Structure 1
Amino acid sequence: MSKFQRRLFIPTLLVLAIGWFGFSSYSDKFFQIAKNLDLFASIYKEINTYYVDDVNPNRLIKTGIDAMLESLDPYTVYIPEDDIEDFRTMTTGEYGGIGASTEFLEGHHTIIMLQEGYPAHKAGLQIGDQILSINGIEVEQKEAFDLGKLLKGQSRTNFGITVNRYGKKEPMVFQVDREKITIDNVYYAGMVNENIGLIKLTEFTTHAGDEVKKAVIKLKKEGATSIILDLRDNPGGLLHEAVNISNIFIPKGKKVVDTKGKITDLNRTYKTLDEPVDTQIPLAILTNGGSASASEIVAGVIQDFDRGVLIGEKTFGKGLVQSTRPLSYNAQLKVTTAKYYIPSGRCIQALDYAHRNADGTVNKLPDSLKVAFKTGNGRVVYDGDGLDPDVVVEVEDYPSIALVLSSKGYLFQYATLYHYQHPQISAAREFQLSDADYNDFLNWVRKKELSYETSVDRAYRHLLAAAKRDKTYASLEDQLGSLEEKINALKEKDLTKFKDDIKGLLEQEIITRYYLQKGLIEVTFPDDPDIQKAIQVLNNPAEYKRILG
């Protein structure tokens, strides 16, 4: 055999060996899949036959599927046929209904918000109305999901709704026509002051890009020379809408995001396709821990191109892309198929679901493993844990008393009472409760159950337990008792000590009764630290330029 033949022979053996091992590996994986499916079917059959109690086959299978998918990540989910309509609403922002949000308060399904101009609002329903029945079907004992099924339906269908209303001795009946409801992505678009406009974006459903584009054009016509785009608590949505919104502020042909997954043929690069609306207008993006996914794409693009300033708190850190796959029986699987990478090259995924701990928990990427990237102007940014804002704003927590008044529904109830005692109030930005009004609220709420635990209470409880464990309680009993009395005395003054916080929340609740969503946004402007910091930065061109490098 010649030297050339030996060289040719050896690589050929290697190729055959690799091919055999590759085939063997594939065959083994196929066998494992078939074996485990057979085992699953056998266990399912045995349980249905021999388990001591009757078993719901659909529920049992769904539990198994959900548990399997939960071991991957929170975003890979099974969507049965019964839930398809709700899933479609989440992606399109459209459904057949009446435009009312409800919550279960004090034993009643209660209307907590109305969409202006939609059927519930036009029919005369009010925030605070307690729903008793729909077309004669009593709903008090029904779950919120079942109530939603009764309220939703085909457009142009009619139903009767019976409600209890504050101050009315008898229930009231309204006839409501369902319509096609479109959930607005832009929750608010208006002027914060004479030169700065604000856009509150809460969704990334169909037409989000068009809505933001129209909002920017509208605000510029109204005199806006700077824009605040509020992405706080926006969980994201459709990827292509994130591209469309980015395109409003950056030039045509710029890369917005790469998606990279296991199937390389499905990897994509998304670029801006249209001429932008404005590439120069000063821009501030508000973010917090609830800004995720598509919100982070938009915020990350703006940061990577040094197109605007990010203000607020670190974002959530979701850098995973989901696609839907059709299944049998009209079901679907929403499955994570890729990670996304914004223009600087970084992926901002915070949690590593592929390497769980033994107990199933998931860790964040440690700081030591984060990689540095650079924006267009050379500013250093990092991957692996959401987006860090350019300007950090520390948001103070509300005092415990304010949170208790809100969670127990007392602010909501009093706002309803106030509404029916005051047919009109001043404009949302001008409305303020007087001291007499606040004293009326104090007299009303002091008749309610107001027990609550503060951080100081919890610290005292731990101190007490430690003293008893260390057998020092007897010698400290008098001092500990005195400390508890002082803590309780301080709590009794909380309603007056934290008057400004409580009054502000109560004013917000009252304003929704008259001005709905728009009023709720506008009343927060003066006290919103993120908005105030954005105004400060946008009104200082030198500072704005310095931040962007």
Structure 2
Amino acid sequence: MKRIVIGVVGVALLAGLFSFTWLGGDHSFEISRNLNIFTTLYRELNTHYVDEVSSEKLIGDGIEAMLKSLDPYAAYISENDIEDYRTATTGEYGGIGAIVGQRNRANTVIMPYVGYPAHTAGLKIGDEILEIDHQNLENKTSTEISELLKGQPGSEIVLRVKRYGRDKPFDVTLTRSKITIDNVMFYGMYNETIGFIKLTDFTTDAGSEVKNALDSLKSAGATKIILDLRDNPGGLLDEAVKVANVFVEQGKEVVSTKGKMASWNKTYTTPYASADNDIPLVVLTSRATASAAEIVSGVVQDYDRGVLVGTRTFGKGLVQATRPLPYNSQLKITTAKYYIPSGRCIQAIDYSHRNEDGSVGKIPDSLKVAFKTSKGRTVYDGGGIEPDIPVTPQKFSNLLYNMVSQNLIFDYANEYAFNHPEIPAPRQFELTDAEYIEFVTWVKGKEFNLSSQMDDAIKALEEMAKKEKYYEGMEPTIEKLKAKVSTLKENYLETFKDDIKFMLEEEIVSRYYFHTGMMEASLDHDPAVLEAAKILADTQTYSKILNQ
């Protein structure tokens, strides 16, 4: 059987030797020569290599390496991965409607989507899934579990669940449904006049969801809008045009694409009358605002339609298209670059050298080119969109992140929800000092490693001192440092009380109000939202930013 598979791969590749005659000349010969080398090399490996080789893995690794050498976004989508790709682009799949992940090495419900099977069947955040259709989940990967949970809408699935506060596991029977993930994760009134819209994706219907949210907020009294595009990875280009069209009048250029082939050189304009092209607008951006979300941010800035607040965006201005390949696989290939109305290209000048999170690094002024907005403000290219008003994201101590990563905040929220049947609305809920003391007592009774970068640095110093044979002279100093850090840790829960309380309150709110509650609870503590509200409240400042 293996020989048959290899034969098919070889025939497919050899067929390619004769399919490039349209290129003509030396280029066609080069392609044929290198494909011949590749197939011969593979045949020799398969025949003579000491161990058995997997044709699918070996060819797959070769394709992946080839595409990775071009840019970070070209990709091979195998038949096995095609459904995940469709889910990412459409926001639809068949399943139970819940985020499931690892917590304390257990397969745990992280967040059920309101109104879908997991939620209506009564699954709660923190529920551990022990079995799916009587299959034990020990040693199964997150991908394997995700595949078991997905299925045709209308099909039944049985989960064995362990819940906090219940002695024995129990079975829950759910009927899978078509899950459509909303692009607008949350919208609501920030105060009496300012509406807030959180857009998390640009899958199908993103434009209509933003329009509906805007109409609803205006009916509720909103005369100003905050559009939150932070951490939005982008998506469909057509939906970027439609979202921009909500705030930009008909017939305006949104984006143009330029590529090697003339067929990819297109200009996209707003096709409809806008929902409101006058309402004061602030758009929030972050280092993870990418692609379609950057187009919308750039359009708002280039037309001086609103104020951008936050941090420089990701810098992904490359257009991807999918091309069909044999056996139901596809090639996602970069075909063009995006250019926004001022003429700027969103793409980072050098996409091979970025920050650790993939976003644009510092760009030398000498590499930037100046452009003008519709009102004559100077803006620059070089990668991503620079906000009009920079706001540094809220940062927490590494010690607090360690508490979160060790699931202390998550576990306590489960216990709190078990002991409190209900809480006030998200923005009204607040832990009392007495309740915080209860949490402190609870934490001290747990075994956990409250480590920090200081611990790591002291440990490295100690090891170096021992290696370099001067530990005896350094020992008193090192021990004093250890004692000082230990004291800091003992006082940590009081020193960082406000930050810990905020994370606790947000996590607890999620047990009662889910995704939307978490977002609503964060509004009054979010530096970028607070700055946006301040700008919108001051008409003179808002106007000055857009006309300077």
Give the TM-score of the pair, scaled to structure 2: 0.92
Amino acid at match of 1:444: W
Q: Is the 8 A contact 1:312 1:530 kept in 2?
A: yes
Shift of 1:386: 1.0
Structure 1 residues 126-525: aligned runs within 5 Å: 126-353=124-351, 366-461=364-459, 474-525=472-523
**Cα deviation digits, residues 37-83 of structure 1 (max 9, x gap):** 11111121122222222211111111111111111112100001111
Q: Is the 8 A contact 2:450 2:489 kept in 1?
A: no
Q: Aligned residues: percent identity?
A: 52
SS of 1:486's partner is: helix
Pair 353,40 (structure 1): closer, same or farther in 2 beyond 3 Å = farther
Distance 1:346 1:239 in 2: 17
Q: Is the 8 A contact 1:70 1:76 kept in 2?
A: yes
Between 1:395-404 and 1:311-320, the stretch displaced more is 395-404
Between 1:192-201 and 1:492-501, the stretch displaced more is 492-501
Q: Is the 8 A contact 1:258 1:267 kept in 2?
A: yes
Q: Is the 8 A contact 2:394 2:527 kept in 1?
A: no
Between 1:193-202 and 1:390-399, the stretch displaced more is 390-399
Amino acid at match of 1:527: H
Shift of 1:30: 1.3
Pair 458,207 (structure 1): closer, same or farther in 2 beyond 3 Å = same
Q: Is the 8 A contact 1:311 1:392 kept in 2?
A: yes
Pair 246,423 (structure 1): closer, same or farther in 2 beyond 3 Å = same
Shift of 1:470: 7.7
Distance 2:369 2:196 in 1: 33
**Cα deviation digits, residues 90-139 of structure 1 (max 9, x gap):** 11111111110011112211000011111110011111110011111112
Shift of 1:266: 1.9
Q: Is the 8 A contact 1:243 1:270 kept in 2?
A: yes
SS of 1:416's partner is: helix
Amino acid at match of 2:70: L
Amino acid at match of 1:140: E
Q: Is the 8 A contact 1:352 1:365 kept in 2?
A: no
SS of 2:83's partner is: helix
Distance 1:278 1:25 in 2: 50
User: 1:545 matched to which residue of 2?
Assistant: 543
Q: Is the 8 A contact 1:81 1:331 kept in 2?
A: yes
SS of 1:436's partner is: helix
SS of 2:399's partner is: helix
Pair 326,491 (structure 1): closer, same or farther in 2 beyond 3 Å = same
**Cα deviation digits, residues 355-413 of structure 1 (max 9, x gap):** 99xxxxx9876431110001111111110121111011122311122101111111111
Q: Is the 8 A contact 1:110 1:130 kept in 2?
A: yes
Q: Is the 8 A contact 1:107 1:140 kept in 2?
A: no
Shift of 1:458: 4.2
Pair 27,412 (structure 1): closer, same or farther in 2 beyond 3 Å = same
Distance 1:131 1:90 in 2: 24
Amino acid at match of 1:111: V
Distance 2:472 2:132 in 1: 61
Structure 2: runs of 5+ lacking an equivalent: 1-20, 355-359
Between 1:499-508 and 1:528-537, the stretch displaced more is 499-508
Q: Is the 8 A contact 2:203 2:235 kept in 1?
A: yes
SS of 1:206's partner is: coil
**Cα deviation digits, residues 477-499 of structure 1 (max 9, x gap):** 32332122112211221112111
Between 1:286-295 and 1:429-438, the stretch displaced more is 429-438
Structure 1 residues 31-46: aligned runs within 5 Å: 31-46=29-44
Shift of 1:352: 2.3
User: 1:55 matched to which residue of 2?
Assistant: 53
Distance 1:316 1:111 in 2: 30
User: 1:27 matched to which residue of 2?
Assistant: 25
Shift of 1:463: 5.2
**Cα deviation digits, residues 453-487 of structure 1 (max 9, x gap):** 32333444565567678876554432332122112
Q: Is the 8 A contact 2:183 2:202 kept in 1?
A: yes
Distance 1:136 1:91 in 2: 32
Amino acid at match of 2:396: Y
SS of 1:45's partner is: helix
Which is higher, the Rg of structure 1 or of structure 2?
1
Between 1:92-101 and 1:27-36, the stretch displaced more is 27-36
Q: Is the 8 A contact 2:91 2:180 kept in 1?
A: yes
Distance 1:206 1:142 in 2: 32
User: 2:15 matched to which residue of 1?
Assistant: none
Distance 2:57 2:363 in 1: 36
How many residue pairs get aligned? The number is 522
Distance 2:231 2:67 in 1: 25
Distance 2:93 2:435 in 1: 40
Structure 1: runs of 5+ lacking an equivalent: 1-22, 357-361
Distance 1:102 1:497 in 2: 33
User: 2:3 matched to which residue of 1?
Assistant: none
Question: Which residue among 115, 131, 156 is the counterpart of 2:113?
Answer: 115
Compute the RMSD of aligned alpha carbons: 2.0
Distance 1:300 1:487 in 2: 46
Q: Is the 8 A contact 1:185 1:211 kept in 2?
A: yes
SS of 2:41's partner is: helix
Distance 2:367 2:349 in 1: 13
Between 1:491-500 and 1:243-252, the stretch displaced more is 491-500
Shift of 1:536: 0.2
SS of 2:451's partner is: coil
SS of 2:210's partner is: helix
Distance 1:127 1:327 in 2: 41
**Cα deviation digits, residues 244-265 of structure 1 (max 9, x gap):** 0101111111100010011123
SS of 1:441's partner is: helix
Distance 1:59 1:547 in 2: 54
Between 1:412-421 and 1:347-356, the stretch displaced more is 347-356
Shift of 1:449: 3.0
Pair 462,371 (structure 1): closer, same or farther in 2 beyond 3 Å = farther
Amino acid at match of 1:397: K
User: 2:6 matched to which residue of 1?
Assistant: none
